[in-house]
Structure 1
Amino acid sequence: MAEWKKNDRIDVMIEDMSETGEGIGKTDGFTWFIKDTVIGDKVQAKVMKTKKSYGFAKLERITEPSFNRIEPKCPVAGPCGGCQLQAMDYGEQLRYKERKIYNNITRIGGFSEVPMQPIMGMDEPWRYRNKAQFPWGLDKDGNIVTGFYAGRTHSIISCEDCLLGIEENQEVLRQIKAHMERYHLIPYEEASHKGLIRHTLIRKGFRTGEIMVCQVINGNSLPHSKELVERLLEIPGMTSISFNINKERTNVILGDKVENLYGPGYITDFIGAVKYRISPLSFYQVNPVQTEKLYGTALAYAGLTGVETVWDLYCGIGTISLFLAQKAKKVYGVEIVPQAIEDARENARLNGLDNVEFFVGKAEEVLPEQYEKHQVYADVIVVDPPRKGCDEACLNTIVKMGPKRVVYVSCDSATLARDMKYLAENGYKVEKVRGCDMFPQALHTEVCCLIVKA
């Protein structure tokens, strides 16, 4: 094998992509990770760093572009860390994501066969995000800027109109920037922990048209907020305006305290026939079009006939629970965040669903306790865990409870594969696997699986 040194030039064919979006190619069996490339590109790159069996190289030029390479729509697609796949044709993005799910399930889960159904893509893979969080700062000339952090940094790439976000974002940011300039409000600076204006959170109900703006500040009050409210109310659909206090030295965007400036303090939106109330601190899926497809798949996999008892673990504000409650006899939801459970109970009331009960706590603690102390059982268990997947105590209780079906909704097919393996070793069989592209132009993808008692 050749010995590669820093600054050497290499010619590579890109054959795959990493979890973080770098192109992967090989020379003499040695693996290279090269940013800004897509599968099928032939490139020349400069060696930056090498380890024993792999290295990192910087793209110098594309000698032969991939058949699937396209011109990114967004002018800052390269430097902004948000969209890793914009230079890849959308059909190829879907194939890449489907392959990633399949490979994780076979390699990590050890399954020889995967009953894959076709991935659910978007007809229009732009302007799909109902939520955006824009940091504020100063550029090198001292001008106020907002946009997104460049990949793996905290320097802001100026961008007021992200093509994944709603068109109204631009006007909201324009009004806030004008307000800052008019009243000399200084953007927050991480290094010194000085400056008032941190992030602007914007959300929109796609079906209702309702817009929420929540301004995060490093202080207790927002100067001249009355004037800002008047300006923001000129934007059609503006329903809720508030500020959030975050005086911590932290990367966490939102603090715990929200002060209302205008409106009810929330907006509403629908997924299918179910109405949800969304407050600034609520977790709510960012792509409502695809969420409806994903939850519709979960509901179909659950196979409810109206007589089942269902447990929904990691239930958030009850998005899946309420979807299931339309067809189940009884649904129990579990979530660790108390505010989310308050929202979930409110959402159940809003929809007149009285067959849902919610518990605050860790799924891996609540489920065993309810099962062992109160002998509750489940016909169907639905899990939608965070990226780290299910806790083993939780999986163990699922196996003990022995539901006929487990519907697993996952945002990380690697931890999904690990958990599927555990269930398969304990009397369950994987029946259906289906990807849902919630994040076109970006790397992540959601998966819905039906796992049945063997």
Structure 2
Amino acid sequence: MMAEGSNPASDATPSKEEEPDDVPQNFKNDTPEADAQAARDSEAAPDPCKYRYIKDDLFTSEIFKVEIRNLPKFTGFNDLKKFLAKHGLNPHKIKLFGRQTFAFVTFKNEEERDKAMKMVHGMQWKGQVLSVKLAKPKADPILKKRKQEEGEGVSGQPVSKRTEGGEEEDEEPLSVQIANVVTPLWNVPYEEQLRRKEQEVVGILQRLANEIGSTNKAMLPWLFAQKGKFNKMCCPLEAIRPSPTQTEYRNKCEFLISVGADGEDKTIGFRLGKYKGGSCAVVGPAETCHVSAEAKRVVSEFQNFIRTTPYSVYSPETYEGHWKQLTVRTTRTKQAMVIVFFNPQKLEEDELNALKSSMKKYFTEGKGSESAATSLYFVRDGQRKSPNPEDLPCELIAGESCIHEELLGLKFRISPHSFFQVNTGAAEVLYSAVGEWAQLDQDSTVLDVCCGTGTIGISLAKRVKKVIGIELCQEAVEDARVNAKLNGLSNVEFHCGKAEDVFPNILNAVVSPNVTAIVDPPRAGLHSKVILAIRRAEHLKRLVYVACNAKAAMANFIDLCRAPSNRVHGAPFRPVRALAVDLFPQTMHVEMLLLLERVDYDSQQQQTP
């Protein structure tokens, strides 16, 4: 039974873009606007039938797209991004083509797009005169596929579902199909899963060794010795640490609400294929091995509820309908937060109030109470101008405003938009390793960058003089401050803002002789401004980097270790220790921990510590 509660704090976008495995199953942001493949005929006027998302005024950077021609040959993504940033331009997406001599670039609004066209057109770059023109938006993949099927299908059935002889192909059961999508390693023995992930990290450290050799010649003698000792890697790699549980480990899942792959309407589950492949059908999570029994129970009850309502599921093809997404967060303390995303379309306010009242009654007094949900939120997800669902305010319908979790003997409050590692048991393994490696004492100051609800910093606070956390999401910062009080800590402070804006000033203000930074950034890594600030602050001697996508963070690793230059000031770091922790069993994703220490040029220490 749920009790009344107040509305949560104001919403904000979390600093962690939910690590790559937070919802691999949903293909999050995999919508018409999320995968900007080339539309070559940039002069043609958009066909409103093919571009319904434009007609309906939904957010999509596709309508703010330009084509940049005559780029220098082999221009890379980062090259173009840095070039545009140098001129005060902030692109939303970049897609390079044709030996990287032309690119499609999208922006978040018309003003930024027009500014780019005005500034870049005619500009010289590496001897090339650039040209810019408007580009046509990408067609809706669903409509494109439907048109193909209408032309190619036999008896109304797509060709892909038939053999050459006209017989229907045998398909695997839906439970197997969805398992292959959301947990691709479900039928691989766990020891083999760990071996594969460890080998992936070996490859990353071998690549990093080569990159350091290319960008910092002074490190070559040290690097040569390292590669000889550690299988061509730049540092030793400890044995991978497994997840304490390999199934039902996810404490957060995002489910789509759509037509089921079995034909059942109003089905809650995971998408069977990517939107860009023309798929909207979903399969329920009942037989998926990584979703908890508590979350499955919530999904089942919520599906029963929405099927009793007159409102249809939202269609990304027509932009009609209402039910869109269900997010379920659970804890080991047996609490469950339910967040439903609903497009109100043109419903009157009294209709929405009636729906919310019936939802509350169903989950507090009716059959839905069996789901044991302790927090129930309603989100109006209409014609959003922002690409992030986290930007939408959550309205508490019933229950407590937050859920609580215990980790490493500490208590943590979690709000709807706050980041919290999706595998609590494995997070304890990860944070314990961070504590081991940070080499902390009572004189230490810890800078916890992208701190979420403060888990890492709070877990280390009793061992150090001070912890300073930095986080973008206001909700998470409020949670972190509450969590510090819950655990009786007075030596912890948290700051809200973009790391690239807040971190340099905080770092410069720290006067402690023993400063350690711990960074746990989104999948894309830290902003280059943060890396440059770290390099400049030479009193910062040790850095623990927690990477949920080490390949994406490679640019950060390289910049931390590259030789000083006009752009990069301060002595470089070098990697001295690495570890893989399996936070995501049954998937290919793995968390990597990398310890980097400042090179001491004064004592000419270029040997392994």
TM-score between the two structures when normalised by the length of structure 1: 0.78
Once residues 225 and 371 of structure 1 are traced to their aligned partners in structure 2, the CA distance between those partners, rounded to angstroms, is: 48
Once residues 184 and 548 of structure 2 are traced to their aligned partners in structure 1, the CA distance between those partners, rounded to angstroms, is: 17
1:338 aligns with 2:463: no
1:251 positional shift? 6.5
Match of 1:204 in 2: 330
Once residues 138 and 74 of structure 1 are traced to their aligned partners in structure 2, the CA distance between those partners, rounded to angstroms, is: 14
The answer (yes or no) to whether the contact 1:80–1:148 under 8 Å persists in 2 is: no
1:135 aligns with 2:256: yes
* 1:375–1:138 Cα change, 3 Å: closer
* 1:139–1:418 Cα change, 3 Å: closer
1:156 aligns with 2:281: yes
Read off the aligned partner of 1:130 and give its amino acid letter: N
Match of 2:188 in 1: 88
Higher RCO (C-alpha under 8 Å, 6+ residues apart) = 2
User: SS state of the match for residue 298, structure 2?
Assistant: helix
Q: Deviations over 1:211-256 (max 9, x none)?
A: 1112221125434123322236633643212212211357644552
The residue correspondences of 1:311-350 to structure 2 (distance < 5 A) are 311-350=447-486
Match of 1:107 in 2: 207
Once residues 314 and 444 of structure 1 are traced to their aligned partners in structure 2, the CA distance between those partners, rounded to angstroms, is: 20
Once residues 400 and 251 of structure 1 are traced to their aligned partners in structure 2, the CA distance between those partners, rounded to angstroms, is: 34
Q: Deviations over 1:165-196 (max 9, x none)?
A: 11122322222222222232322222222222
Paired residue for 2:307, among 181, 190, 212? Answer: 181
1:297 aligns with 2:297: no
Rg larger for: 2
Q: Deviations over 1:49-70 (max 9, x none)?
A: xx99xxxxx9xxxxxxxxxxxx
Match of 2:362 in 1: 228
Once residues 207 and 456 of structure 2 are traced to their aligned partners in structure 1, the CA distance between those partners, rounded to angstroms, is: 29
User: SS state of the match for residue 117, structure 1?
Assistant: coil
Superposed CA RMSD in Å reads 2.8
User: SS state of the match for residue 270, structure 2?
Assistant: strand
Paired residue for 2:488, among 340, 352, 357? Answer: 352
Read off the aligned partner of 2:375 and give its amino acid letter: S
User: SS state of the match for residue 368, structure 1?
Assistant: helix
* 1:126–1:74 Cα change, 3 Å: farther
Read off the aligned partner of 2:480 and give its amino acid letter: A
Q: Deviations over 1:78-109 (max 9, x none)?
A: 57631222232221211111111111121144
Match of 1:76 in 2: 176
Match of 1:362 in 2: 498
* 1:77–1:435 Cα change, 3 Å: farther
The answer (yes or no) to whether the contact 1:74–1:163 under 8 Å persists in 2 is: no
* 1:252–1:80 Cα change, 3 Å: farther
Q: For this pair of structures, how many residues does the alignment match?
A: 386
The residue correspondences of 1:380-419 to structure 2 (distance < 5 A) are 380-402=516-538, 403-419=540-556
Q: Quick one: percent identity of the two aligned structures?
A: 29
Q: Deviations over 1:419-453 (max 9, x none)?
A: 33333334423221000011111121101122123
The answer (yes or no) to whether the contact 1:267–1:277 under 8 Å persists in 2 is: yes
The answer (yes or no) to whether the contact 1:135–1:156 under 8 Å persists in 2 is: no
Once residues 181 and 371 of structure 1 are traced to their aligned partners in structure 2, the CA distance between those partners, rounded to angstroms, is: 54
The answer (yes or no) to whether the contact 1:77–1:86 under 8 Å persists in 2 is: no
The answer (yes or no) to whether the contact 1:134–1:148 under 8 Å persists in 2 is: yes
Q: 5+ unaligned residues in a row in structure 2: which ranges?
A: 1-23, 25-97, 100-159, 161-171, 211-222, 228-232, 345-351, 563-570, 600-609
Match of 1:241 in 2: 376
* 1:189–1:74 Cα change, 3 Å: closer
Once residues 390 and 342 of structure 2 are traced to their aligned partners in structure 1, the CA distance between those partners, rounded to angstroms, is: 9
Read off the aligned partner of 1:264 and give its amino acid letter: E
Once residues 255 and 261 of structure 1 are traced to their aligned partners in structure 2, the CA distance between those partners, rounded to angstroms, is: 19
Once residues 299 and 442 of structure 2 are traced to their aligned partners in structure 1, the CA distance between those partners, rounded to angstroms, is: 47
The answer (yes or no) to whether the contact 2:180–2:186 under 8 Å persists in 1 is: no
Higher strand share: 1
Paired residue for 1:215, among 335, 340, 354? Answer: 340
Q: Which runs of 4+ in 1 moved over 6 A?
A: none
Once residues 315 and 207 of structure 2 are traced to their aligned partners in structure 1, the CA distance between those partners, rounded to angstroms, is: 44
1:431 aligns with 2:588: no
Once residues 193 and 299 of structure 1 are traced to their aligned partners in structure 2, the CA distance between those partners, rounded to angstroms, is: 48
* 1:376–1:150 Cα change, 3 Å: farther
Once residues 309 and 398 of structure 1 are traced to their aligned partners in structure 2, the CA distance between those partners, rounded to angstroms, is: 15
Once residues 90 and 179 of structure 1 are traced to their aligned partners in structure 2, the CA distance between those partners, rounded to angstroms, is: 37
User: SS state of the match for residue 433, structure 2?
Assistant: helix
Once residues 323 and 586 of structure 2 are traced to their aligned partners in structure 1, the CA distance between those partners, rounded to angstroms, is: 29
Read off the aligned partner of 1:180 and give its amino acid letter: I
Match of 1:421 in 2: 558
Read off the aligned partner of 2:284 and give its amino acid letter: C
The answer (yes or no) to whether the contact 1:84–1:443 under 8 Å persists in 2 is: yes
The answer (yes or no) to whether the contact 2:445–2:464 under 8 Å persists in 1 is: yes
User: SS state of the match for residue 275, structure 1?
Assistant: strand
* 1:226–1:416 Cα change, 3 Å: closer
The answer (yes or no) to whether the contact 1:390–1:419 under 8 Å persists in 2 is: yes
Bigger shift: 184-193 or 113-122? 184-193
* 1:79–1:239 Cα change, 3 Å: closer
Once residues 463 and 249 of structure 2 are traced to their aligned partners in structure 1, the CA distance between those partners, rounded to angstroms, is: 28
User: SS state of the match for residue 453, structure 2?
Assistant: coil
The answer (yes or no) to whether the contact 2:183–2:290 under 8 Å persists in 1 is: no
Once residues 184 and 96 of structure 1 are traced to their aligned partners in structure 2, the CA distance between those partners, rounded to angstroms, is: 48
Once residues 376 and 391 of structure 1 are traced to their aligned partners in structure 2, the CA distance between those partners, rounded to angstroms, is: 24
Match of 1:61 in 2: none
User: SS state of the match for residue 370, structure 2?
Assistant: coil
Once residues 397 and 553 of structure 2 are traced to their aligned partners in structure 1, the CA distance between those partners, rounded to angstroms, is: 42
The answer (yes or no) to whether the contact 2:418–2:453 under 8 Å persists in 1 is: yes
* 1:253–1:396 Cα change, 3 Å: closer
Once residues 179 and 375 of structure 2 are traced to their aligned partners in structure 1, the CA distance between those partners, rounded to angstroms, is: 32
1:97 aligns with 2:223: no
Once residues 309 and 145 of structure 1 are traced to their aligned partners in structure 2, the CA distance between those partners, rounded to angstroms, is: 50
1:121 positional shift? 1.1
1:289 positional shift? 0.7
Once residues 180 and 331 of structure 2 are traced to their aligned partners in structure 1, the CA distance between those partners, rounded to angstroms, is: 26
Read off the aligned partner of 1:422 and give its amino acid letter: D
The answer (yes or no) to whether the contact 2:248–2:289 under 8 Å persists in 1 is: yes
Once residues 187 and 304 of structure 2 are traced to their aligned partners in structure 1, the CA distance between those partners, rounded to angstroms, is: 34
1:168 aligns with 2:294: yes
The answer (yes or no) to whether the contact 1:387–1:412 under 8 Å persists in 2 is: yes
Once residues 507 and 390 of structure 2 are traced to their aligned partners in structure 1, the CA distance between those partners, rounded to angstroms, is: 36
1:317 positional shift? 1.6
1:142 positional shift? 5.8
1:364 positional shift? 2.1
Read off the aligned partner of 1:449 and give its amino acid letter: L
